[in-house]
């Protein structure tokens, strides 16, 4: 027959048994606190989702009341802050950086090799057709579409009436646009040259016509021209002033029919058959604005662009 523990042994057994119960109770409390924390977190997520759904319903009713049923992208943009023109903004920012690099750079000395760089500022970036469409929507510009019959490559072009509006589409601020219309540089020889964002036409005789406006219906062109291009080395200025006058288009053979400020997108021509969505087709976004470079400060030319 088993004997019962007595005295100090029995007291020790009761003491250890109490410690075990307290430990189990502490573990259970800790588990309950953890469950409570998780439930509260889940509740916060549910409340956030409910708020978003409520906002979605409100925005949906407001947008439907304003007109036709909005697209799902516009609804997502309104509720969750999604930017449906993000690719267009990225293409514009990349193009702006390249254009600003060209504008800050000193114009090259004229030669037969760099005559294109001497006549215009150009910049190019790679982007998809979808990014170009977003840029068009972002800037609200009018696009001309052309399809080359031989290469079957799609070309979209945007023409501008002046250099300032062309730079605005690239995202250049108004203050910078005004400063870049006329900008002076010093060459390594310390000679001063000034670049203007104005179109010019050079005749074989040496006369330079600054093209100010076109009147295609009358077949006339408004230009500013000097009687002679002689330069006063002592006074560091032209001997003859600029005069504004209308001339016949035939006087300037080869002059483009439009102002040469241009933004265009052309597909790369390497389209894969798997590219079902035309918005995913890769291409090149190109920018061009005509320039004129004169010796000295060119104050009379600056008056044409001010």
Q: What pTM was computed for the model?
A: 0.66
Q: What is the mean pLDDT of residues 20-35?
A: 70
Q: Which of 38-47, 60-69, 135-144 has the lowest mean pLDDT?
A: 60-69
- Measure the CA–CA gap between 135 and 171, rounded to whole angstroms: 10
CA-nearest of 166, 102, 103, 100 to 139 is 166
Is 25's pLDDT higher than 90?
Answer: no
Q: Which residue has the tokens 């104005």?
A: 198
| Average confidence score pLDDT of the chain | 79
Q: List, in order, residues 6 or more apart from 283 with CB less than 8 Å away.
A: 126, 127, 128, 129, 132, 265, 266, 267, 268
Helices and strands per DSSP (H, E), number in the chain: 8, 14
- Measure the CA–CA gap between 174 and 165, rounded to whole angstroms: 10
**pLDDT over 90, % of the chain:** 30
Q: Which of 62-76, 112-126, 140-154 has the lowest mean pLDDT?
A: 62-76
Q: Which of 130-134, 277-281, 286-290 has the lowest mean pLDDT?
A: 277-281
- Work out the burial of residue 127: count CB atoms within 10 Å of its CB; fewer than 13 is exposed, 13-18 middle, 19 or more buried: buried
pLDDT at 280: 79
- Which residues are registered as beta bridge partners of 225? 243
Is 9's pLDDT higher than 50?
Answer: no
Q: List, in order, residues 6 or more apart from 263 with CB less than 8 Å away.
A: 141, 157, 158, 160, 166, 169, 170, 285, 286, 287
- Measure the CA–CA gap between 198 and 211, rounded to whole angstroms: 7
Is 139's pLDDT higher than 50?
Answer: yes
pLDDT at 142: 84
pLDDT at 22: 63
pLDDT at 153: 67
Q: Which residue has the higher pLDDT, 205 or 93?
A: 93
Q: What is the mean pLDDT of residues 27-33?
A: 73
Rg (CA), the chain: 36
CA-nearest of 242, 246, 243, 245 to 299 is 242
- Measure the CA–CA gap between 259 and 47, rounded to whole angstroms: 58
Is 144's pLDDT higher than 70?
Answer: yes
pLDDT at 107: 85
Q: Which of 19-28, 157-166, 193-202, 269-278 has the lowest mean pLDDT?
A: 269-278
């Amino acid at each position: 027959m088993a004997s019962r523990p007595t005295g100090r042994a029995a007291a020790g057994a009761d003491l250890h048994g109490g410690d075990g119960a307290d430990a189990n109770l502490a573990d259970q409390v800790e588990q309950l606190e953890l469950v409570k924390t998780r439930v509260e977190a889940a509740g916060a997520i549910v409340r956030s989702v409910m708020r978003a759904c409520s906002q979605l319903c409100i925005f949906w009713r407001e947008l439907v009341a304003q007109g036709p049923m909005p697209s799902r992208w516009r609804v997502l943009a309104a509720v969750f802050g999604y930017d449906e023109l993000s690719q267009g903004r990225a293409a514009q920012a990349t193009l702006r950086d390249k254009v600003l690099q060209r504008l800050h750079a000193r114009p090259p000395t004229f030669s037969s090799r760099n005559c294109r760089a001497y006549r215009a500022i150009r910049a190019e970036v790679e982007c998809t057709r979808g990014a170009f469409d977003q840029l068009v929507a972002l800037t609200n510009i009018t696009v001309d579409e052309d399809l080359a019959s031989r290469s079957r490559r799609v070309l979209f072009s945007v023409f501008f009436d002046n250099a300032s509006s062309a730079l605005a589409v690239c995202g250049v601020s108004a203050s910078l646009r005004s400063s870049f219309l006329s900008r002076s540089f010093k060459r390594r020889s310390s000679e001063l040259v000034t670049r203007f964002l104005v179109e010019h036409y050079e005749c074989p005789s040496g006369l330079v016509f600054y093209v100010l406006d076109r009147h295609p219906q009358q077949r006339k062109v408004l230009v500013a021209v000097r009687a002679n291009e002689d330069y006063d080395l002592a006074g560091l200025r032209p001997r003859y002033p600029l005069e504004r006058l209308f001339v016949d288009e035939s006087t300037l053979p080869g002059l483009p029919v439009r102002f040469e400020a241009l933004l265009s997108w052309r597909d790369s021509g390497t389209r894969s058959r798997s590219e079902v969505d035309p918005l995913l087709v890769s291409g090149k976004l190109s920018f061009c604005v005509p320039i004129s470079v004169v010796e000295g400060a060119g104050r009379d030319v600056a008056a044409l662009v001010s």
